[in-house]
């Protein structure tokens, strides 16, 4: 039964992982973080990614055809790429009311998006199911 | 092409890196900063809540304005009430309720950490609100929950300041945080996101934001965020002044003041004669 730190350390084992954090998208608070983050400040990075995650979770354009009302949030993950890295944000559904996501920063040269998506999905499930 | 123009959302505030630590230490609670420095163990009781420290780190926080861990874990059926209450009753000096809950295997460490950290920062936000009375520290007092994931004091202080700033940027009036909320009738009806709709559905002119949070089994600060966003969208207003004692309707009839009406009539006549 992994805690937050074990989960983030597991995320850091992904190929190319530079940093990993568990962030609350309502407040922008990082509940935990390991590794490095863009700009060198994990709190600032958390606040910025939280804003993108919140907007994504709230847009009706991104909800599945069945309305997605049952799932909170209706979005599974969010991928952002730039010239040298990938950011993968994986929403974590919980049985209690929360708004958290896993954020992994991957170097583009050795990051594997498909693998990261699958692994983060598994980690999100394990993190809250225990 | 139809371009839909929406107001860009306010950016989540980011801590000012220059000298933020000193400011945070001074602005929230100098007493707390001192207790962290001396690695104190005990409970800091303030007007709006309490912070529990173990060796200078925050292990738990409580506030009457924030739903407790029991509300968060039981409302949505994360834990069965029996499991929760047994852990609370059996908790003692050596093994706190957190340890006992994990030992039952009914909740994973990750889930409990996420829920508890959320509740800790949530209650700390209220506990560290500006108060009119000085705080009081009782050395040695522990909490039955036990230590799960201690948080440095400066992280809690920084987050509390950041949250104040976030609310202020969303809608600068703090009244909706504590007053009974009323639904406003918006001319245009922008449908808010589902989490805000859940809050809006409970706005009835009586409930306050913390009461809505409790009813939804949701931490209070996210509810304040939703309420301020709803207020900014013109969907919710706060009752002001907060109702005290409602007089019977018969006594509340408007008192018609004849001299004022005659004055207004004369004023109208004079204006028309111009």
What tens digit of pLDDT does each residue of B41-100 get? 999 999 999 999 999 999 999 999 999 999 999 999 999 999 999 999 999 888 899 999
The stretch B145-174 carries a mean pLDDT of: 94
- A97 contacts on B by Cβ (under 8 Å): 72, 75-76, 216-219
Q: So what's the pLDDT on residue B133? A: 86
The stretch B209-215 carries a mean pLDDT of: 96
* Long-range contacts at B84-91 (CB < 8 A, ≥ 24 apart): B88/B144, B91/B144, B91/B145, B91/B146
A22 interface with B at CB cutoff 8 Å:
yes
A121 CB neighbour count, 10 Å cutoff? 16
A15 interface with B at CB cutoff 8 Å:
no
One CATH from 3.40.50.1370, 3.30.450.30, 3.20.10.10, 3.90.780.10 for A4-129:
3.30.450.30
* End-to-end Cα, chain A, rounded Å: 5
Which position has the higher pLDDT, B249 or A100? A100
Q: So what's the pLDDT on residue A73? A: 80
Handedness of CA B42, B45, B46, B50 (dihedral sign): positive
pLDDT digits (tens, 9 = 90+) for A57-99: 988 888 888 765 566 788 999 999 999 999 999 999 999 999 9
d(CA A36, CA A111): 15
Domain ranges of chain A: 4-129
Q: So what's the pLDDT on residue B25? A: 43
| 8 Å CB contact between B67 and B157 | no
Say whether A7 and B110 touch across the interface (CB within 8 A).
yes
B78 interface with A at CB cutoff 8 Å:
yes
Q: So what's the pLDDT on residue B94? A: 83
Mean pLDDT of chain B: 86
Interface of A with B in 80-119 (CB under 8 A): 92, 94-100
Residue with tokens 């992982």, as numbered in its chain: A17
d(CA A98, CA B22): 31
Q: So what's the pLDDT on residue B21? A: 47
B194 interface with A at CB cutoff 8 Å:
yes
State the SS3 of A48-79.
HHHHHHHHHHHCHHHCCCCCCCCCCCCCCEEE
Smallest Cα distance from B236 to chain A, Å: 19
pLDDT digits (tens, 9 = 90+) for B9-47: 777 777 655 544 444 445 688 899 999 999 999 999 999
Handedness of CA A93, A95, A97, A98 (dihedral sign): negative
Give strand pairing partners of B211: none
A38 interface with B at CB cutoff 8 Å:
no
Domain ranges of chain B: 20-170, 175-238
| 8 Å CB contact between B124 and B59 | no
Q: With pLDDT > 70 as the criterion, what percentage of chain B qualifies?
A: 83
Say if the ipTM goes beyond 0.90.
yes
């Amino acid at each position: 039964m992994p805690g937050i730190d074990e989960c983030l350390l597991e995320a850091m084992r992904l190929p190319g992982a530079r940093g990993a954090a568990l962030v609350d998208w309502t407040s922008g608070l990082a509940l935990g973080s390991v590794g490095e983050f863009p700009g060198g400040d994990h709190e600032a990075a958390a606040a910025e990614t939280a804003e993108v995650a919140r907007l994504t979770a709230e847009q009706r354009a991104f909800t599945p055809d069945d309305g997605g009302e049952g799932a909170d949030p209706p979005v599974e993950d969010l991928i952002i790429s730039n010239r040298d890295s990938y950011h993968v944000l994986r929403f974590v559904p919980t049985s209690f009311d929360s708004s958290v996501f896993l954020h992994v920063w991957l170097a583009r040269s050795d990051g594997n998006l498909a693998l990261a998506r699958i692994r983060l999905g598994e980690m999100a499930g394990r993190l809250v199911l225990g | 092409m139809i371009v839909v123009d929406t107001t860009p959302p306010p950016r989540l505030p980011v801590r000012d890196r220059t000298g933020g630590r000193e400011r945070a230490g001074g602005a929230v609670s100098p007493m707390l900063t001192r207790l962290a420095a001396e690695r104190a163990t005990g409970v800091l009781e303030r007007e709006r809540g309490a912070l529990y420290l173990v060796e200078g780190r925050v292990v738990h926080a409580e506030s009457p304005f924030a739903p407790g861990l029991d509300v968060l874990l039981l409302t949505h059926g994360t834990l069965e009430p029996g499991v929760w209450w047994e852990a609370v009753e059996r908790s003692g000096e050596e093994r706190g309720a957190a340890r006992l809950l994990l030992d039952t295997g009914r909740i994973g460490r990750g889930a409990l950490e996420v829920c508890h950290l959320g509740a800790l920062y949530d209650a700390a936000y209220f506990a560290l609100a500006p108060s009119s009375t000085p705080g009081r520290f009782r050395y040695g007092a522990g909490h039955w929950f036990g230590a799960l994931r201690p948080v440095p004091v400066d992280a809690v202080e920084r987050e509390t300041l950041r949250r104040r700033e976030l609310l202020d940027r969303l809608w600068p009036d703090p009244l909706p945080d504590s007053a009974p909320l009323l639904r406003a009738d918006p001319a245009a009806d922008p449908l808010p996101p589902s989490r805000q709709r859940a809050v809006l559905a409970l706005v009835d002119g009586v409930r306050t934001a913390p009461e809505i949070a409790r009813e939804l089994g949701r931490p209070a600060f996210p509810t304040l965020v939703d309420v301020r966003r709803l207020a900014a969208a013109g969907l919710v207003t706060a009752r002001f002044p907060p109702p005290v004692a409602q007089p019977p309707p018969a006594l509340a009839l408007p008192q018609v003041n004849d001299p004022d009406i005659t004055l207004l009539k004369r004023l109208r006549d004079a204006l028309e004669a111009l």
